[in-house]
Amino acid sequence: MPPEFESVLNHFSQYIKLSEPLQKELLDRLSFQTFGKGELLHDADKICNRSYFILKGLTRTYYLKDGTEISEYFSSENEWVNSPKSFIQRVKDIYYIDCLEKTETFCLKVDDLGYLFDNFPEMERYARLSMGSVFGHLMERINSQRFTTAKEKYEHFLTVYKGIYHRIPLGMTASYLGITQSTLSRLRAEK
């Protein structure tokens, strides 16, 4: 088995015991895809029908407001990325996903994921446990955005993205935090 497959299987193994049949089905359904820096993984004008497990690289999920890109979150190695509402409900939504670096992924189509859920009950457990951590992260983000100062937002950002914040452009960081670049520069200078 190529080493790339090991990282995605290790990810699943953090949440569930992978049986041989499930492991085989996963390997049969995952496809390797590479995206260049600046390339879109998902366009808001389309329904998201793929989820991407990032082997190497960095993505940004964002939306447009009055022509301005607003960064919502960032995903990197050993994380899945998709446009959740579009992926689950099969409708268009507001999110674009682009690559901030050359990004290597494994892709899983929504129909293949449905097959895995229907035929392997442990996949339901995987979804519940992995989505629980995503939900926790989103609740922290909401609380940070609503109830903290710019400095506290920045400190929270550094904690949440501690392994990758230095790879995220400053303008995108400011957009994520909901502050100006000059405020971000001042906060960084205080560190």
Mean pLDDT, residues 81-89 taken together: 92
Quick check: 97 and 33 in contact, CB under 8 A? no
How many other C-beta atoms are found inside a 10 Å radius of the C-beta of residue 30?
19
* Backbone φ/ψ region at 78: left (φ over 0), alpha (ψ -120 to 50), beta: left
Confidence of residue 55 (pLDDT cuts 50, 70, 90): very high
Over residues 22-52, the pLDDT tens digits come to: 999 999 999 999 999 999 999 999 999 999 9
The answer to whether the pTM exceeds 0.75 is: yes
Q: Is the pLDDT at 2 greater than 90, yes or no?
A: no
How many other C-beta atoms are found inside a 10 Å radius of the C-beta of residue 187?
21
- The alpha carbon dihedral of 85, 88, 89, 93 has a sign of positive
Neighbour-count burial of 8, counting CB atoms closer than 10 A to its CB (0-12 exposed, 13-18 middle, 19+ buried): buried
Over residues 176-188, the pLDDT tens digits come to: 999 999 999 999 9
Over residues 101-159, the pLDDT tens digits come to: 999 999 999 999 999 999 999 999 998 888 777 777 778 878 778 888 999 999 999 99
DSSP string for 70-111: EEEEEEETT-EE--HHHHHH-S--S-EEEESS-EEEEEEEHH
Over residues 158-175, the pLDDT tens digits come to: 999 999 999 999 999 999
Domain 3-120's class?
mainly beta
Strands 80-81 and 50-56: antiparallel
pLDDT of residue 175: 94
Classify 121 as helix, strand or coil.
helix
pLDDT above 90: percentage of residues in the chain: 79
Domain ranges in the chain? 3-120
